[in-house]
């Protein structure tokens, strides 16, 4: 497995803040059965909301949901189904901003929660940048572990598509 | 959860754009809700074509076909949709390494034996004379730990089943349904016909659950792999046969839902009439839907789901995370 294959990517950053075990499982293609309701809902919202301005911007192994220019400034948006995963969403977006920054593009982030009619701003400052870099290193460390970190009951388990796998 | 579709009548499957329908010989059409169907089991004489199979592949629907006698013939197993190179390597590793394979096979035989005991003890509590079988099986269970190769483990498994089937006459108490000996293809008496039919159904159900995991159904641990047949489903079925198939048979016979009138003699042995097959399937589906409270998961889980959980536990064993512990009924 090369680093390019692993592609730390936005998805793993997202799961990093939810559950380390999940990061490991996803990176080993141990994905849950697709008929799980929660997974389907997530995809559905991503595909249907903000249809008019939605364009996809792919950078490296990341894909951003929407983008537009506001007075010459680039705004990258991420659509999420609930603000319950706020930290995950913020850091995922910060990761995208960093990827853009690496390519010389200055951008600002906007998190959108269409179901809650809410928006939130994300800016790539020094602290955020340092945190993102730490997370990327830690994700790589995790992915190379021989076994997944053991399941630890947390507030996401109940809705997690892996819950039967973890707790059987 | 997706449903299983059973086809008894003769006819043809057709694909029309994004739908499929079944047309009987009489020209009657029946549309199939593809999003809702997990597998199709064919008992009648049915024609299919490539367009239809392509659609099944796309929709991840498995198709199993049975002979006129109700024997399992084969499956159309669409290309795996969940794929993890990591898991396949772990599964192969546990097959190739004798000791690793043996430890899984031991657990499977032990699980099967303990579930058999559970059934027998239930009947013992109801004053059936099954003591001899219980003693024999308990003794055999004690020898598993010292059993050092797969063939002798298979022999223990066979002996346990033999002792178990000896208790069937005592449990069923119907002269028409005497066990005699275990005969497979073709079964030589009514009871054997029922057992073969029920086991075949369970094998396909286990195969369907394997399809929804990252495991390769061709690599079994107790049953030897030759890569031409599915064997992992046979392994997993061992755990559930006593709890699902045998209990269904006891209740079908106990409640006289199936009698000797439901069989006929064919050129190759005894076969069940369609009515009996349907009745068996209905009871089996009922049983699979029955739920039990699962302590770790924290909610009720159906028998069908328990089969999936068994596969998850096996995956975790292969990953070196947690030693596989077979499901043992507790009542
Ligand atoms: S069920 Fe819980 S422990 Fe398992 S992956 Fe999901 S969140 Fe992590």
Counting residues of chain A whose pLDDT is more than 70, the rounded percentage is 74
**Where is mean pLDDT largest: A34-38, A68-72, A148-152, B71-75?**
A148-152
Ligand 1, atom 3: closest residue by C-alpha: A151
**Where is mean pLDDT largest: A56-60, A100-104, B326-330?**
B326-330
**Interatomic CA distance for residues A55 and A100, integer angstroms:** 16
State the span(s) of chain B assigned CATH 3.100.10.20: 3-66
- pLDDT at position A49: 44
Q: Which residues pair with B82 in a beta bridge?
A: none
Q: Return the domain boundaries, chain A.
A: 3-167
Q: Which of B86, B208, B209, B304 to mutate to test binding with chain A, by most A CBs within 10 Å of its CB?
A: B86
With residue B264 as reference, give the H or E element that holds it: strand B263-266
At the topology level of CATH, where does B3-66 sit? Answer: Ribosomal Protein L15; Chain: K; domain 2 (3.100.10)
Closest atom of ligand 1 relative to the A22 alpha carbon = 5
State the span(s) of chain B assigned CATH 1.20.120.920: 85-318
For residue B166, give the nearest of B147, B203, B140 by alpha carbon.
B140
Counting residues of chain A whose pLDDT is more than 90, the rounded percentage is 28
Which residue in chain A has the smallest CA separation from B35?
A: A35
What pTM, to 2 d.p., does this model score? 0.88
Distances (CA, A) of A49 to A3, A69, A79, B103: 33, 19, 8, 52
Q: Which residues pair with B22 in a beta bridge?
A: B13, B30
Q: Give the up-direction half-sphere exposure of residue B207: CA atoms within 13 A in the CB hemisphere.
A: 25
**Interatomic CA distance for residues A138 and A133, integer angstroms:** 9
Does residue A120 surpass a pLDDT of 50?
Answer: yes
- pLDDT at position B275: 94
- pLDDT at position A7: 52
- pLDDT at position A37: 45
Write out chain B residues lying below 8 Å of A33, CB-based.
82, 212-213
State the pLDDT confidence band at A44, using cuts at 50, 70 and 90.
very low
**Interatomic CA distance for residues B109 and A147, integer angstroms:** 27
Report the complex ipTM.
Answer: 0.84
CB–CB of B319 and A35 under 8 A?
no
CB B91 within 8 A of CB B311: no
Strands (E), chain A: 57-59, 62-64, 66-70, 73-79, 107-113, 118-122
CB–CB of B313 and A168 under 8 A?
yes
Write out chain B residues lying below 8 Å of A29, CB-based.
83-87, 214
Distance A157 CA to ligand 1 centre (A): 5
CA angle A158, A160, A164 (to 5 degrees): 80
Nearest to A30 among B87, B297, B310 (CB): B87
Distances (CA, A) of A15 to A36, A88, A142: 17, 7, 12
Q: pLDDT truncated to tens, each residue of chain B (331 aa)?
A: 788 999 999 999 999 888 999 999 999 999 999 888 999 999 999 999 999 999 999 999 999 999 888 888 999 999 877 889 999 999 999 999 999 999 999 999 999 999 999 999 999 999 999 999 999 999 999 999 999 999 999 999 999 999 999 999 999 988 888 887 777 666 778 998 999 999 999 999 999 999 999 999 999 999 987 777 899 999 999 999 999 999 999 999 999 999 999 998 887 778 899 999 999 999 999 999 999 988 888 889 999 999 999 999 999 999 999 999 999 998 7
At the topology level of CATH, where does B85-318 sit? Answer: 1.20.120
State the pLDDT confidence band at A34, using cuts at 50, 70 and 90.
low
Q: How many residues does chain A have?
A: 168
CB–CB of A33 and B84 under 8 A?
no
Distances (CA, A) of B83 to A25, B1, B75, B79, B302: 12, 21, 19, 10, 26
Closest atom of ligand 1 relative to the A19 alpha carbon = 8
The mean pLDDT of A11-26, rounded to a whole number, is 91
Q: How far is A3 from chain B (nearest CA, A)?
A: 16
For residue A111, give the nearest of A81, A141, A140, A73 by alpha carbon.
A81
B180 backbone dihedrals φ, ψ, rounded to 5°: 55, -105
CB neighbour burial string for A42-59, b if at least 16 within 10 angstroms, e if fewer: eeebbeebeeeebeebee
CB–CB of A165 and B312 under 8 A?
yes
Residue predicted with more confidence, A100 or B232? B232
For residue B302, give the nearest of B205, B194, B231, B233 by alpha carbon.
B205
CB–CB of A31 and B82 under 8 A?
yes
- pLDDT at position B211: 94
Q: Which residues pair with B72 in a beta bridge?
A: B66
- pLDDT at position B53: 94
Question: Is B157 labeled as ligand-binding?
Answer: yes
CB B98 within 8 A of CB B221: no
CATH number of A3-167: 3.90.320.10
**Pocket of ligand 1 from Cβ distances under 6 Å:** A 19, 21-22, 151-152, 154, 156-157, 160, 162-163, 166
Question: Is B180 labeled as ligand-binding?
Answer: no
Distance A63 CA to ligand 1 centre (A): 24
User: Can you read off the two tokens belonging to residue A9?
Assistant: 């990517």
Peptide bond into A60 cis (omega under 30): no
The mean pLDDT of A137-151, rounded to a whole number, is 93
- pLDDT at position A5: 40
Nearest to A29 among B83, B309, B321 (CB): B83
Q: What share of chain B is helix, strand, coil (3-state, %, to 5)?
A: 50, 15, 30
3-state secondary structure of B14: strand
């Amino acid at each position: 497995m090369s680093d390019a294959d692993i592609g730390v990517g936005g998805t793993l950053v997202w799961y990093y803040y939810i559950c380390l075990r999940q990061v490991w499982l996803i990176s080993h293609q141990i994905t849950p059965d697709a008929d799980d309701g929660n997974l389907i809902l997530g995809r559905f919202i991503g595909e249907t909301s903000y249809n008019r301005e939605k364009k996809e911007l792919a950078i490296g192994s990341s894909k951003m949901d929407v983008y537009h220019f506001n007075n010459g400034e680039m705004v990258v948006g991420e659509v999420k189904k609930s603000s319950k995963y706020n930290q995950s969403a913020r850091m995922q977006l910060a990761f995208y901003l960093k990827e853009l920054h690496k390519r010389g593009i200055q951008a600002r982030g906007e998190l959108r929660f269409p179901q809650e009619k809410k928006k939130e701003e994300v800016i790539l400052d020094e602290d955020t940048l340092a945190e993102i870099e730490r997370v990327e290193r830690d994700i790589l460390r995790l992915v190379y572990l021989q076994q997944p970190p053991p399941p630890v009951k947390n507030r996401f388990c109940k809705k997690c598509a892996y819950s039967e796998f973890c707790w059987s | 959860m997706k449903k299983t579709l059973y086809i008894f009548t003769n006819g043809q499957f057709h694909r029309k754009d994004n739908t499929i329908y079944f047309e009987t010989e009489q020209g009657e059409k029946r549309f199939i809700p593809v999003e809702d169907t997990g597998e199709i089991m064919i008992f009648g004489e049915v024609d299919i074509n490539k367009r239809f199979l392509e659609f099944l592949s796309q929709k991840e629907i498995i198709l199993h076909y049975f002979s006129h006698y109700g024997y399992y013939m084969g499956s159309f197993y669409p290309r795996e949709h969940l794929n993890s190179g990591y898991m396949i390597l772990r599964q192969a590793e546990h097959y190739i390494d004798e000791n690793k394979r043996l430890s899984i096979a031991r657990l499977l035989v032990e699980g099967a034996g303990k579930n058999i005991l559970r059934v027998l003890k239930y009947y013992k509590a109801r004053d059936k004379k099954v003591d001899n079988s219980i003693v024999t099986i308990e003794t055999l269970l004690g020898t598993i730990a010292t059993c050092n190769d797969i063939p002798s483990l298979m022999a223990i498994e066979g002996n346990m089943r033999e002792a178990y089937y000896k208790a069937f006459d005592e449990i069923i108490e119907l002269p028409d349904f005497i066990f005699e000996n275990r005969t497979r293809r073709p079964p030589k008496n009514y009871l054997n016909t029922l057992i073969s039919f029920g086991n075949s159904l369970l094998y396909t159900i286990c195969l369907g659950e394997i399809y929804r995991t990252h495991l390769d159904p061709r690599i079994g641990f107790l049953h030897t792999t030759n890569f031409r047949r599915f064997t992992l489903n046979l392994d997993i079925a061992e755990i559930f046969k006593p709890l699902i198939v045998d209990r269904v048979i006891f209740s079908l016979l106990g409640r006289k839902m199936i009698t000797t009138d439901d069989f006929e003699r064919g050129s190759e042995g005894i076969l069940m009439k369609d009515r009996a097959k349907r009745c068996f399937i209905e009871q089996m589906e009922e049983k699979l839907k029955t739920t039990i409270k699962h302590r770790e998961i924290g909610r009720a889980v159906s028998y069908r789901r328990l089969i999936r959980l068994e596969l998850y536990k096996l995956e975790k064993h292969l990953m070196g995370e947690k030693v596989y512990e077979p499901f043992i009924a507790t009542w």
